[in-house]
Structure 1
Amino acid sequence: MEEEVKDIVPCTSLAVDSILRVGTAGAIWGLCAGPHQARKRGLTGIAQASHVAKAVTKFSFQCGLVAGIFTSTHCGLQRYRRRNDGINALIAGAVAGAAVAAGTQNRTQVIWMAGLVSAFSVAADYFKPN
């Protein structure tokens, strides 16, 4: 039954859902990390509020971006290959990790991030309850 539902729901809908959920988690993380970073820098008042707002925006965007790329790639591979296995998570994690690290323009960081996100994706897919 679940496989039938996944075939009906478009990948774009799954990606938007993922972006909203993980982006919200990133915003919450920014709300927690932003004030701590601002206090370490000695910011108060408007400067602190501005720093927190920027942290919320940054973390929310980055988390949503990773989630969107991962979900779109994973869903597309699953539909293309007609299989739901660890290979989809491996490739989707590598693509998402490389996309995030591409902003550094450092080839070594791109490779490490692609491998790290890919490994976590495969582990999460392996331990996911069926």
Structure 2
Amino acid sequence: MPRSSFSGSVSTPKLEVMVDMGNPLLNLTVDGFLKIGTVGVVKATAEETYHVLQKGNISHHKFEDSLKKMCKEGAYWGTAAGAYVGIEYGLERIRGTRDWKNAMIGGALTGALISTASKNGRDKIVMDAITGGAVATAAEFLNYLT
């Protein structure tokens, strides 16, 4: 019986932007802000594009609102990522080891920090800390698999 197979690889272009702030903590924090902030902007862009295609047109006012939303999403996502990366790096330096515990603690502290800045109540802050710790720990474990 004839058999066929397919093999190959797909790669994407890689763009690295590094801002040297003269301090490893600041370098990682800014890098996290820029990379994940870009993800937030792309997410908002995709959502706004979907809404425009759904309605069939866009006004000048709607375009300005879309740009504001993109900037807001980018800043929010970037700030969360920058805080997480900075906290995790600080924990790594303090504890002298790089492991999943840094991710868990960093995620929990970041979740609590962002929730507190959003003026949430105590129960919501605790839930956001638990969520942040769980997501960061899961991401760290997934990194071990690859």
**What TM-score results when the alignment is normalised by the length of structure 2?**
0.74
Unaligned runs of 5+ in 2: 1-22
Residue 60 of structure 1: which of 74, 99, 102 is its match? 74
Instruction: Give the match for residue 135 of structure 2.
Output: 120
Q: Is the aligned partner of 1:12 residue 2:17?
A: no
Q: Is the aligned partner of 1:99 residue 2:113?
A: yes
Deviation at residue 105 of structure 1 after TM alignment: 2.5
**What TM-score results when the alignment is normalised by the length of structure 1?**
0.82
> What is the number of residues matched between the two proteins?
122
Whose helix fraction is larger, Structure 1's or Structure 2's?
1
The structure whose Rg is larger is: 2
Unaligned runs of 5+ in 1: 1-8
Cα RMSD after superposing both structures: 2.3
Instruction: Give the match for residue 48 of structure 1.
Output: 62
- Alpha-carbon displacement from aligned partner over 1:6-50 (angstroms, at most 9, x marks no partner): xxx712111111111001111111111234467889x94012102
Identity of aligned pairs, percent? 25
- Alpha-carbon displacement from aligned partner over 1:88-110 (angstroms, at most 9, x marks no partner): 11110011111221213322221
Instruction: Give the match for residue 126 of structure 2.
Output: 111
